[in-house]
Amino acid sequence: MSWDLLLWLLALCVPLAFVVQLVRFLRADGDLTLLWAEWQGRRPEWELTDMVVWVTGASSGIGEELVYQLSKLGVSLVLSARRVHELERVKRRCLENGNLKGKDILVLPLDLTDISSHEVATKAVLQEFGKIDILVNNGGRSQRSLCAETSLDVYKELIDLNYLGTVSLTKCVLPHMIERKQGKIVTVNSLMGIFSAPLSSGYCASKHALRGFFNGLRTELATYPGILVSNIFPGPVQSNIVKNALTNDATQTLCNVGDQSYKMATSRCVRLILISMANDLKEVWIADQPFLSVAYLWQYTPTWAMWLTNKLGKKRIENFKNGLDADSYFKIRKTKHD
Ligand X SMILES: NC(=O)c1ccc[n+]([C@@H]2O[C@H](COP(=O)([O-])OP(=O)(O)OC[C@H]3O[C@@H](n4cnc5c(N)ncnc54)[C@H](OP(=O)(O)O)[C@@H]3O)[C@@H](O)[C@H]2O)c1
Active site residue ranges: 203
Contact, 76 vs 48, CB < 8 A? no
Window of 33-41, 44-52, 121-129, 238-246 that interacts with ligand X by CB under 6 A: 238-246
Q: Closest separation between CB of residue 66 and ligand X, Å?
A: 9
Helical residues (DSSP H) of 136-259, grouped into ranges: 152-158, 166-180, 201-220
Q: Which is nearer to ligand X, 43 or 211 (CB)?
A: 211
DSSP type of residue 26 = H
Q: Which is nearer to ligand X, 110 or 295 (CB)?
A: 110
> Binding to ligand X by residue 60, rule CB under 6 A?
yes
Residue nearest to ligand X (CB): 61
Contact with ligand X (CB under 6 A) among 135, 177, 241, 275:
241
Q: Which is nearer to ligand X, 57 or 198 (CB)?
A: 57
Window of 13-21, 52-60, 118-126, 300-308 that interacts with ligand X by CB under 6 A: 52-60
Q: Which is nearer to ligand X, 61 or 198 (CB)?
A: 61
**CA–CA gap between residue 47 and residue 277 (Å, rounded):** 9
Q: What angle do CA 234, 239, 240 make, to 5 degrees?
A: 125
**CA–CA gap between residue 237 and residue 125 (Å, rounded):** 29
Residues sharing a CB contact under 8 Å with residue 91, sequence separation 6 or more, in sequence order: 79, 105, 107
Q: Closest separation between CB of residue 235 and ligand X, Å?
A: 6
**Exposure string over 15-49, b if 16+ CB within 10 A, otherwise e:** eeeeeeeeeeeeebbbbebbbebbeebeebeebbe
Q: Closest separation between CB of residue 335 and ligand X, Å?
A: 15
Q: Which is nearer to ligand X, 202 or 234 (CB)?
A: 234
Contact with ligand X (CB under 6 A) among 79, 112, 125, 186:
112
Q: Closest separation between CB of residue 260 and ligand X, Å?
A: 8
Q: What angle do CA 138, 143, 147 make, to 5 degrees?
A: 140
Contact, 291 vs 236, CB < 8 A? yes
**CA–CA gap between residue 62 and residue 234 (Å, rounded):** 10
Contact with ligand X (CB under 6 A) among 35, 51, 55, 62:
62
Site for ligand X in 154-213 (CB under 6 A): 161, 188, 190
Residues sharing a CB contact under 8 Å with residue 50, sequence separation 6 or more, in sequence order: 74, 75
- Enumerate binding residues for ligand X (CB under 6 A): 56-57, 59-63, 81-83, 86, 110-113, 138-142, 161, 188, 190, 234, 236-237, 239-241, 244
